[in-house]
Amino acid sequence: MTTSTSGRLAGKVAYITGAARGQGRAHAVRLAAEGADVIAIDNCATAATTSYAGPTEEDLAETARLVEAQGRRVLARTVDVRDLDGQVAVVADGVAELGRLDVVVANAGICSGALSWEIPVEKWQETIDVNLTGTFYTAKATVPVLLEQGTGGSIIIISSVAGLRGLPFLADYAASKHGVTGLARTMANELGQHNIRVNTVHPHGVATGMQPAEMFELSQRFATTLGPILMQALPDPISQPEDIANAVAWLASDEARHVTGIQLPVDLGTLAR
């Protein structure tokens, strides 16, 4: 699934959140294969309101090993995206060690399922805090560095089909992913004059550790009424993390130098339905 690489990011440095496993790891490895050094963060913890186990420090260490196996340098650190000071500090340390910053991949996120009016308040709050406020903090920690450098950059925010469509059972997640889509649109307008591009990527289902068990039960329960909204057009039932990383690598590269403010679906044709 990973396409051949051509050193499209040689000499560049990428900052990736939620990098310990899944999509974040795939982004780190793919951008490293394209020649980028990597600053990788993850909170390496299980969220309080999700039904699946979170990543571990061992997972983050494995991501670092895989980046180094591509012949690239990496700074990997346990930082929660909800910790603005922590993000600012690791970005500063990464730039000091690796020399610069060019690409930002705001990937960290959590997900769980419930009917909208049954979402516990604490679950709503944690989802918004991680997915939306965490992405905002990622921007606050990185944009000033890109502006000071004065050499442009590419910011890629991982949204979701739920950032463009009202997917059932995911009201808090959809609200957060619609939120980051709006954030990216505004940032694309504001930062374009500085040659900093801002785009969102919109996957559907991806084979990662983020698999809420309650989503299966709800999908079965409402299979005839709400289930069709979740159907894809292509035959593959789910995307692999590398499928999303391919799109990220393109948006990060100069091949996409005139692309900003877009919402790029990598969604098995779900939005075509």
In whole angstroms, what is the distance from residue 31 CA to residue 248 CA? 8
Give the residue among 66, 82, 85, 81 at the shortest CA–CA distance from 26. 66
pLDDT of residue 5: 61
Which residue positions in the chain have pLDDT lower than 70? 1-5
Catalytic site residue 52?
no
Q: Which of 15, 52, 137, 173 is catalytic?
A: 173
Instruction: Please give the angle made by the CA atoms of 156, 147 and 26, to the nearest 5 degrees.
Output: 25
pTM: 0.96
pLDDT of residue 210: 83
pLDDT of residue 215: 82
Q: What are the residues facing 153 on neighbouring strands? A: 196
pLDDT of residue 216: 82
Give the residue among 173, 175, 121, 156 at the shortest CA–CA distance from 261. 156
